[in-house]
Amino acid sequence: MRFAFFRAEPDPDHIEVAHEACAFRVAVKRRPAARRFTLRVSNATGEIVLTLPQGASMDAARRFADSHGGWIAARVARLPMRVAFVPDAEIPLRGVPHRIVHWSTVPGVARATTDAEGRAILAVAGQKAHLPRRIRDYLRREASRDLDAAVARHTSTLGIPARKITLRDTRSRWGSCSSRGHLSFSWRLILAPPFVLDYLAAHEVAHLKEMNHSHRFWSLLHRLCPRTEEAERWLKRNGTDLHRYG
Ligand SMILES: [Zn+2]
């Protein structure tokens, strides 16, 4: 008697799903908790993810994804447009639209200024190839400056020492406060209106006193930032949009 050893092929990390003239890259994730096949298209990143239950066959998962090619195409068509850091692109800085201009005569790396007609621009010097990186560096520097100032202001109101902050580019949260009191924020807050950045700084500083979301936490936060509700509403409505840039 012969034994056949069936060794399951490892899952591919992605598959391609074709629909009409388009091919879509679909990430494959196997989840023990999943009960059925699901497809998701992320608004923030445009990533398409197929989730399958632990025991499901890859062939069945492929058939499922293929049969939803039209659905994927429709969802992708509705995704918000991405805005790359290239000349003439318009990006918000502190909530104000700025056009990117490659202006090599300006000394320094990048700066926000106005053009001859008085419109807001982000002027970038140096080689064109380095422009996206210069813009990113500039935005991170500005974010760090505004967040440092806001954190210093709120900690001084509470009579506690100022904190050093860390910048990140997380999609799941705009700010965090660790149990050891380390504050970190998304650099993308510099794209939002200043009261939104200020709210996030106040929120994380309030956690230095109240490591929870209790009633005491919220009343402390309202004391630091009277525009808390307005900022929360703004983030709910526009937060995803901030991930379109760069
Ligand atoms: Zn919180």
What pLDDT is attached to residue 170? Answer: 83
Q: What is the pLDDT of residues 109-158, one digit of tens each?
A: 789 999 999 999 999 998 888 899 999 999 999 999 999 999 999 999 99
Tell how far the Cα of 199 is from the centroid of ligand 1, in angstroms.
11
Tell how far the Cα of 92 is from the centroid of ligand 1, in angstroms.
25
Return d(Cα 201, Cα 138) in angstroms, integer. Answer: 20
Residue 7 has pLDDT above 90, yes or no: no
- Where does the pLDDT of residue 106 fall: very low under 50, low under 70, confident under 90, or very high at 90 and above? low
b/e per residue, 126-136, with b = 16+ CB within 10 A? beeeebbebbb
Tell how far the Cα of 52 is from the centroid of ligand 1, in angstroms.
32
Tell how far the Cα of 237 is from the centroid of ligand 1, in angstroms.
18
Tell how far the Cα of 212 is from the centroid of ligand 1, in angstroms.
7
Residue 4 has pLDDT above 50, yes or no: no
Tell how far the Cα of 206 is from the centroid of ligand 1, in angstroms.
8
Q: What is the pLDDT of residues 60-83, one digit of tens each?
A: 999 999 999 999 999 988 887 889
Tell how far the Cα of 49 is from the centroid of ligand 1, in angstroms.
28
The C-alpha angle 177, 182, 187, rounded to 5 degrees, equals: 75
Tell how far the Cα of 154 is from the centroid of ligand 1, in angstroms.
15
Contact 30, 55 (CB under 8 A): no
Return d(Cα 76, Cα 6) in angstroms, integer. Answer: 37
Q: Which of 98, 94, 127, 124 is nearest to 109 (CA)?
A: 124
Structure tokens at 246: 């760069």
Return d(Cα 210, Cα 214) in angstroms, integer. Answer: 8
Q: What is the pLDDT of residues 170-225, one digit of tens each?
A: 877 999 999 889 999 999 999 999 999 999 999 999 999 999 999 999 999 999 99
The helix or strand, by DSSP H or E, that contains position 73, with its residue range, turns out to be: helix 69-77
Domains, the chain, ranges and CATH? Answer: 14-77 (no CATH), 133-244 (3.30.2010.10)
Q: Give the contacts of 5 (CB within 8 A, at least 6 positions apart).
A: none
Tell how far the Cα of 204 is from the centroid of ligand 1, in angstroms.
6
* More confident site: 108 or 11: 11
DSSP letters, 152-202, are HHHHHHHT-----EEEE--SS-SEEE-TT--EEEEGGGGGS-HHHHHHHHH
What pLDDT is attached to residue 108? Answer: 67
